[in-house]
Chain A
Amino acid sequence: MLLQMAWRNLMRNRRRTLLTLSAMSLGVCAIVFGHSFNEATWSKVIRQVTESQVGHLQVHGAGWQAEPELGNVVADPAQVEARVASALPGARLAQRVLGYGLAGTEKQSAAVVVMGLQPEREPSGEGPLSVVRGRALSSERSGEVVLGRSLADQLELEPGGELVMLGQAVDGSMANDRYTVAGVADAGSDELDATAVFLNLADAQAFFGLGGVHQLLVRLPTEDQDVSAHLEALRGALDLAELEGLSWDQMLPELKSVVDQKRGGIKGLAAVVFLIVALGVLNAMTMSTFERTREFGVMASLGTRRGTIRRLVVTEALLLGVVGLAVGVALAAAGIGAVGSIDMSGLTSSGDMVGVRIPSVFELRLYPSSVGQAALTVLLTVLAGGLWPAWRASRLKPVEATRSV
């Protein structure tokens, strides 16, 4: 009954209702689109980080993240792996060694990051294994290296070339050796492209004279960005006097704060839309209740309760909101479907943000959280725009109101 009356009332001034609705739909569409765009970007960045760069979680020797000393290792990675695997079933594990050195030739050299890894356990085609020239690393100890592509350019080295490396071993002696360049990789960030030398874990351990590994990467079978429950499970399985367990957002706090900040930005957009649309709703509802002063007077005279009048007007506003939300989400969904994936490479120079390459191509999706964000905004909007007129209409004095023209 109330719903029917509300709908009829809205339809009495179609032009006004339509205008308010279109403002609301466009607002909703903007919020959903903006939110999806943002989520698509950041979920891709985070996926890239967790998949190719740091994994979801990592195990180190205690204190290594804060002070990555060469000698601070996970001494018995096989035993730790067994524990992690039983605490986090389905997780993919990989060991890495990370050190520093000088690499080059008789003509030039550069300071480099030396990363030893297990190619067979890293996601193929990503990061160190995303080879643009030559071959990827072999899973055997081979005396081969893969270079980040800007480093290869700087050292004027191509696959097949010879690289000499100098560093300090864990006992303080000077590590040095020569390697064959197997390939050149798109290492995943500008920084790594310019500094990374990747080699097989065993080669890296031999170079630095190391027994254990520095990082045990844990890649979880989840799309979820919040891995705090997994982290708890991991830490529960570790001897925390000797080891530490960290999540990607603890290892990359800058990235985490940038993502949070960008998400805050979408809330800002929602707030602006909210303000504009709420004023529109307020205006429409005020006009509509003002025009109906006499009608409300008559209703009151006939014994309609104040609460009923109030509910009627609020229902009108809510109805506006529901229709506006539905149309807006439909519009946004159609837009997202039509656009599909966005290639930003022409718009922005592909660059790094806090050490992570921002992808230039990403696929838009209608995220439930985007719709949630829009629905919340609409609800607040119609309440802000509808409550006051509803209250006003319910407070009219029947005698005066029936006299009004």
Chain B
Amino acid sequence: MRGAIASITAALALAAGPALAAEKAPGDIPPCPSSEETPDVAALIRRTEKLLEGSSSIGTFSMTIKTKDWTRSLKLKAWAKGRDYTLIRVLEGGPRETGMMTLKREKQLWNYLPQAGRVMKLPSGMLGDSWMGSDFTNDDLVRGSSLVEDYEAKVLGVEKAGEREVWRIGLTPKPDSPVVWGKVEMLVDRQSCLPVKQVFFDEEGKEARRLEYGDFRQVGWRQFPARMTFIPSDENRQTSILYDQIEFDLDISDDTFGLHRLRQGR
């Protein structure tokens, strides 16, 4: 027993690296159960999600969409507060899209369209649709669904993914959850509890797309995958985002997510 605890501590120290000494993870974040073959999956997922999201965040990132016909890049800035508020602004893009914004307040989505100089509400049920012509869905961008709240999780086993030892975790949507997938599988690194890869299946059980995480960086006490790449299964295209900078757990005023500000295009 004592051995087990010792090895968890050791693993944690390894996972968090030198930053652990400087900053400690807040107490409400469950530790990463690295040594366990079948850990408490709910706690594990909660940790994973906390690592990725924090309670709030402000970040700038570039998004690159590659298709067989064209490749284009946008520079974006995103503000997020909890699961209910997200604002994304196009800092640099095509002439008609620079200044474009997407606002999510609770279950509703709006776009500010700079060429039109107007706000348009997106139809409900658009969560699964492409955001800005990318391979990200609105749901991915505004985190409409939560792995912890909307899915039933189960550890399917332990395996190797490249150099890493990972848990393969199966996620099945709970009834009535606002999820567009039939099933999701996630590979989570046993050392850091960070996701390495996620595979999304449609309702017929066919693989629809996958999400690969990479470029793990130290941000405060946490490690964060600065690169995320979405690859649809049967199309010759992909979208990746790369964070230039991100800060977590900041105090962001509710006003940032006000519809009146969106209307003014600021």
Contacts and interface: CB of A to CB of B under 8 A. Distances in A.
A and B assemble together:
yes
A164 B94 contact: no
Contact of B113 (A107, A166, A171): A166
B96 A166 contact: no
A349 interface: no
Nearest to B117: A178
Interface in B82-119: 93-94, 96-97, 100, 110-111, 113-119
A174 interface: yes
Interface in B137-178: none
Contact of B133 (A71, A164, A172): A172
Given A171-B94, A172-B67, A177 B119 contact: no
Nearest to A179: B116
Contacts of B110: 106
B94 A174 contact: yes
B258 to A, nearest CB: 14
B120 interface: yes
Given A168-B133, A171-B94, A176 B121 contact: no
Given A166-B111, A171-B94, A174-B96, A102 B116 contact: no
A348 interface: no
Contact of B115 (A105, A107, A177): A177
A174 B132 CA distance: 6
Interface string B184-201: 000000000000000000
B121 A109 contact: yes
Contacts, number: 79
Given A107-B121, A164-B120, A173 B115 contact: no
B118 A164 contact: yes
Q: Is the interface of A mostly helix, strand, loop or mixed?
A: strand
Contacts of A251: none
Contacts of B114: 176
Given A164-B116, A166-B113, A171-B72, A176 B100 contact: yes
Contact of A178 (B94, B111, B118, B121): B118
Given A71-B69, A104-B121, A106-B110, A177 B116 contact: yes
**Among B120, B133, B263, residue most surrounded by chain A Cβ atoms (within 10 Å):** B120
Contacts of B113: 164, 166, 174, 176-178
Given A102-B123, A106-B118, A172-B72, 15 more contacts: A102-B122, A104-B121, A106-B110, A106-B263, A109-B122, A110-B123, A162-B118, A164-B116, A164-B119, A164-B120, A166-B120, A173-B94, A173-B97, A178-B117, A178-B118
Interface of A: 71, 102, 104-111, 162, 164-166, 168-169, 171-178
19 contacts: A102-B126, A106-B120, A107-B121, A108-B121, A108-B123, A164-B113, A164-B118, A164-B119, A166-B113, A169-B96, A172-B72, A172-B133, A173-B93, A174-B96, A175-B115, A176-B111, A176-B113, A177-B116, A178-B113
Top 9 A-B pairs, shortest CB-CB distance: A173-B94, A176-B113, A178-B116, A174-B97, A168-B133, A164-B118, A164-B120, A106-B119, A172-B70
